[in-house]
Amino acid sequence: MLRLGNREFTVHEPVIMAIVNRTPDSFYDQGATFTDEPALARVEQAVAEGAAIIDIGGVKAGPGEEVSAEEEARRTVGFVAEVRKRFPDVVISVDTWRHDVGEAVCEAGADLLNDAWGGVDPKLAEVAARYGAGLVCTHAGGVEPRTRPHRVAYEDVLADILRVTLGLAERAVELGVRRDAIMIDPGHDFGKNTRHSLEATRRLGEMTDTGWPVLVSLSNKDFVGETLDRPVKERLIGTLATTAVSAWLGAQVYRVHEVAETRQVLDMVASIAGHRPPAVARRGLA
């Protein structure tokens, strides 16, 4: 069972986390949801299409203009409060590695802290424990936030992913974060080249076998683009193929841009696996 905010998700229930970027320079939407009204419209659409979690980010992952903690908070805290007011049942996640930003968004109503940079600020887990929030424990290869990997190498990439994420998860439990509010994330593209991310996907079953809920953030990422030689806006098919494989191997939470398409893929895989009945079953019965 995964419990986030006032929601509970069973083991075989796939969960969609919709991305809402509060940045002017995000790699995918180039700032389309930087201002409040488009961002709120995005939340409304994502919830209508089946997202249970809204992941709000105030700093783009890649290199770019410096964003202070104060500016990151300015972009996210008030928006979290507004989403909390308008959508009381949605799980609100904030993508941040900074403990002071984490504290401010939890005060505003966030349910989950998505630490995509692998515990670089160890106080973030302490904030999650103090506020009763959930935590995403991610493998980022030990790189500094907002940097790209350069000739990174692993003797065994999945072994390193497990070592880091399980260590972060157990530390979070020791600090007081609820075990059923913690997810582990292999961190596709973060501190990895394309072959590393493909191997992490291929061996994802080793992560799901640990019993921790696994979150994957695959949407339109560079490893998809390089694998198929496609630019950012032409990576949906590759993303959905990777989503289907990840679902078959047991991942539970999917951080995505395209909610409706992802929902169909996850429902189809769940039905093939026997965890979900067909929405309609008339064929051969008339």
Catalytic residues: 221, 255
Query: What kind and span of H or E run contains 8?
Result: strand 7-9
Q: Which residue(s) pair with 217 in the sheet? A: 255
Contacts with 1 (C-beta within 8 Å, 6 or more apart), sequence order? 8, 9, 10, 11, 180
The beta-carbon contacts of 194-200 under 8 Å, at least 24 apart in sequence, are 194/222, 194/223, 194/226, 194/227, 196/152, 196/154, 196/157, 197/221, 197/223, 198/223, 198/227, 199/157, 199/158, 200/157, 200/158, 200/161
Q: How many CB atoms lie within 10 A of CB 238?
A: 19
Q: With left for phi above 0 and alpha for psi between -120 and 50, is residue 63 left, alpha or beta? A: beta
Query: What kind and span of H or E run contains 184?
Result: strand 182-185
